[in-house]
Amino acid sequence: MNNLTTVSMVLAITAMVVNGESIRSSYSSNGIGGSMSYPGTSNRPPYPTNPQYPNNNNNNEVVAFTAIRASRYSQGTNSNVKFDRTITDLGYGWDSNSGEFKAYYSGAYVFSWSGVSPSSNNFRLTLMKNGLEVGQIWGDRIGYQSGANTVVLELNAGDRVYLRVSEGQLYEPDSSNRGYTTFSGYKLN
C-alpha cells in the first residue's frame, strides 16, 4: 500500500471539522480523486458569471483550492497551466477549466506552487496576477530538478491569479497518474 492510498483511506474514514462543523470526505478505491461535502454548500449556487463582488467576506466563508498535474497541453513555454485534477475547491474562486483563481472577495491570499523539470530541459514557472509576474520558480536541465514557492498577495475582488510556463517545459510522467505540478491557494482573512 503506497502513502497516497494510506492517506486517502485515513481521509475516507476521518470526520474533519471546520469552524465547528463536520466535513465528510469520500475517495475512490484506488486512492485517486474523490469529492468532499461541506456544510451549507450542497445547494451552493454556481460561481456568478457576471458577479457583483462584495467588499468583504462577512460570513467568513472558507476559500481554498488545490490542483495537481499539469495538463498535457499546458506544459510548454508560454502556456498558462491547466490542471488534470482538482483536489480541493472550497468557496468561490477556483476555475478548474481555465486553471485560474478569480478572487470573489477582497483580502489577503496565500498561493503556493511547485513543478519539476524533465531530465534534459529546464523550466521557469511564474505566478501571474492580472497578467503581471509576481513570483517564480526555476528547475535546471540537469536531471529532474524541482522548484517551489509561496507568496502572500493582497487581492481585490475580480483579480485573477494563475501559473504560466515562462521558460522551458514541465515534467508530468505518462506512466503515472501522479502530479508533479501543484497549485494551491487560500484566503487568510
Residue with cell 493582497: 154
Please tell me the distance from the alpha carbon of residue 158 to that of residue 175, in angstroms, as a whole number.
Answer: 38
Half-sphere exposure of 76 (CA within 13 A, CB side): 2
Reported as a pLDDT band with limits 50, 70 and 90, residue 57 is low
Q: Phi-psi region for residue 55, left (φ > 0), alpha (ψ -120 to 50) or beta? A: alpha
Collect all residues with Cβ–Cβ distance below 8 Å to 19 and sequence separation of at least 6: 60, 62
Q: Are residues 1 and 83 in the same domain?
A: no
**Residue 74 confidence (pLDDT):** 85
Q: How many domains does the chain have?
A: 2
Q: What is the mean pLDDT of residues 73-93?
A: 92
Q: Is the pTM of this model over 0.85?
A: no
In a domain, 100, yes or no: yes
pLDDT 10s digits, 102-150: 999 999 999 999 999 999 899 999 999 999 999 999 999 888 999 999 9
pLDDT 10s digits, 9-55: 333 322 333 333 333 333 333 333 443 433 333 444 455 555 555 55
Please tell me the distance from the alpha carbon of residue 109 to that of residue 122, in angstroms, as a whole number.
Answer: 29
Domain of 113? 62-189
Query: For position 175, which CATH number holds?
Result: 2.60.120.40
Please tell me the distance from the alpha carbon of residue 151 to that of residue 112, in angstroms, as a whole number.
Answer: 7
**Residue 133 confidence (pLDDT):** 97
Q: Are residues 74 and 151 in the same domain?
A: yes
In a domain, 51, yes or no: no
